[in-house]
Structures are given as C-alpha cells and as structure tokens.
Structure 1
Amino acid sequence: MTNQRQATDELEELYAELKAFIDSKKPQIIASPHFAHVNHEGKRIRVEVSDGAFLSILTSSVEVYPSSYIGNGEDLPGEGEVWGRLFGFVTEDQEDITYIVTGASVMQNYEYRTHNSCCPSEGHDFKVTSITNAIPGLICLGSFHSHPYRYSDFTTDFCSHWSQTDYESTLATAEHYVVPPLELIFALSHLNSAKKYRPKTMPSYLVNYCRNFKFVLRAFVLNMLEESLDDVDMLRCTLAGKIVNRSD
C-alpha cells in the first residue's frame, strides 16, 4: 500500500512538472497596468493586422487623400493625413511578443489637418478610449496614420518612415499604454492608371497596389531607450497581401 501511494505521489509530481513546462511554452496574454515588465531583450516583435483593421486604414486614407495629388484636381475640405487608434491584444512567449490588431478606430475630428500632418482632437480621442477600455480582452495597442504623397515624390522607404513628430506624439501618450505603443504608418500615392503588381513583403512592411493607389503598410514599436520607433521583426496582414490589381 505504501509503495502504491509513493508511486501515485511520484506520478502527480511528474504531471505537475509536465503541466508547468507546457504552460511555460504557451503565449501569455499581457494584462499589466504598465509595460515596464515586458522583456524585449532577445525577443522578436511580431504584428498581425486583421482584415477589418486594414480595411479601415485603407479606406479612410484613400477617402481624404488630397485631390490636388490626383491630376489637376483641387483639394476638398478636410483632405490630408488621417489618424486613428489601434485595438486588440498582445501575447508573449519565450521567443516572441505579438501584437494582434483586431480593430482600427478612425478619428473623425481634428484640431487641424494638412497634407503632411494632423492633430486629432484629444477630447474626441478620449471618448473612444474611455469606452473601449471597458470591453473585456481589448486594449489600446497604439495608433496609425497615413502619409499621402504625389507619385512623383513617392519612395518606399522614405515615405513610410517615421518623423520626429511621429516619435514625439507616440512618446507623449506612452504612459497610457499597457504595452510599448505600436505605430502603423500607411504611405500611399495615386497613379494615372491601375498597375498589375505582385505584392512585396518585407519583415516590417508590405508594398502593394489597390486600383490606382500604391501603398506601403509599415509597423514600428516605441523604443524609449534609443528615442526612436523601431521596425518590428515581422508584419503580417493577409488582406493587404491578397489584393490583386487588374487592368481594365
């Protein structure tokens, strides 16, 4: 009887050790009041953007793309950059920190908006974040904004890169996040005609065409020590890569 009991205890200990090992391999959802605990050292930063979030970014950016950048058109009121919040959740395991962007909320009210800058209304932004914080399992991951350019001025790396203003605005709100803020930049330009193109996928950005628009979706995360926005190690957006242009 003693031997049987001892064997049972040994099996229970073995089971507990095995369960602890398996749990240690599972991604853990981050839910801390501040992101200081997140260990970036030696870990890859991955970003996954849902179809719905990308569609919001694409359509809102195209909607206010300056008409003066399209042929000889004249700008309409409210055209320029667009800005919005990113929502979702984050998982962390021994190798990766993964931002899962499930939604993008487009700001509709601005203090000002130009071709190369915009300032969202703080009061209206607070209305959005105050209600989304009440949704279980959903956190604010960061923000996105567009970089509209004339096609003659468009280059993939330069037009999709962050500016000092982008860094400063991200840093200014960093204390409100539970994870290091994510910044998605959506650079776009208009062509005279639709172009057939095979999507180009790089670790931190994706280049593609949607009808007459060429776009670059690029992801950065705040690095307070280096005072920069760092390219993530891997960006994945299924819908952005699925768009196939055709010539009519």
Structure 2
Amino acid sequence: MSDPDFTAVPLSSPARRSEPPILPGGVLLDAPEMGRRKLGLAFVAGLVVGVAGCLVLYFISSVHRLSPLPQGASDRVHVGPFEIGNNSNPASASVVVPDATLSLLPVTSEEQRDDEAIKRFTLHIPIKARPDSHIEARDLVVHVLFYDIIGGQKVVQTSANVNSRWVNPPADWKKAGIEDLAVEYQLPKPKAGTTKPEARKYFGYLVRLYYKDQLQAATAQPERLQRQYPPSPTLPK
C-alpha cells in the first residue's frame, strides 16, 4: 500500500530521467512532489523557530514585569519599569486644565499613630477657586482613589478604611478662595489567627477634581498611577 501523501510510481515503470530517491517500502517520490515536500518542511521549521522566539521574548518580558521586589530593599525598589522611592516622597504628577474654575494646590500627608493599623494618615487636598468665581458645592465631584501593593509587585485598589470631611465646613470658597478636603486612610493590621496574611502595604493615591462634569485638575503619587490611569476629561457616568 502506498503512502497517500506521496506520488506512487510502480517500481517497474521505465525512467526517462534521473531516478528519484526510493523511500522505505519501495515507494518513489517524483521531483515535483519532492519540491513541495521540502517547501512544506521549510515552512513548518520556520514557523516553529518563530513561535519559539516569541515565547522566549514573552517569558523574558514577563519576568521583568513580575519579578518580586528584593528582600530588604528599603531605599529604592523597582516595580515594573517604574522607580519608586520608599523613604522619600515619590514625585507626584499633576494635570492642570487651562482656564479651569478650580485648581489643586500641593497635596500634603499627615501621619497618625495607630497601634491597630499598618498605616494611618490624613491626606490634605487644598482646592482653590478662580478669583471672583461663585462655586456651587453641589456641582463639585472629587475622586480620591487609594492604592495598595501586595507582595511587592501587584498594585490594587485599597482595602483600607477611608473617610473624608471638609476642614472648615461649609465649603463655599467665600473667605480665602481655598477649601481643604481631608481624607483619612487607615489600613488595619491582619486579624489575630490569620493563617497567611497577605503582605499588603500602602502604595499611592489619585485625586481628580470635576466641576460641572468637566475635569478641573488631577494629581497622583507616585507618577506611575497618573500614567497608568489618566483622568477622563469629563465626569464618568
């Protein structure tokens, strides 16, 4: 029985050209079929090499992105392609909208002692109104988003307790044209008896300021968050 993938020629057939090679089993492969066979094998070999190269590149890039932080690294650590300073304030990134009615002044952090928390602090967000502007508080929306980092590599939205308040209510921007929004972050310690508590730490924040559905200003710390999650020019519905 001949192999269906090959062109079978009887062994007794007279040959008017140079004989093609004899395959095991007494089957001859003629020249056109040999050419097609070689092309097919070359294509398969090239495809295998290409796929293997892609897999190697993907593996290298994945290791670069997901490599855990080195143990004991406290001064400077690397998360993906972004560099974060642990013991100093990372550079913040701000978005300023020209001719906006409201703007953000530098955000500050007030650390608070809490034996029941991994970290606790109050974020002070000063919001400044343009001179001679009448601000309707009901048209103001402030997004404050905190992020934690788990295991030194995965950045996620926080599980901390978060509360906010105006420092001098009611906020109307009538006295000095500036109102301070205080937002408290409190990340509790794992409950006693937890078998495998996750290594969760505070990472950073995003602040977005909208007035009458239009973006007024935005800031983030570290800068990575602003690049990864840029603010929408209009209030998301």
TM-score (norm 2): 0.25
Q: Which has the higher strand share?
A: 2
Larger Rg: 2
Q: Which has the higher helix share?
A: 1
TM-score (norm 1): 0.24
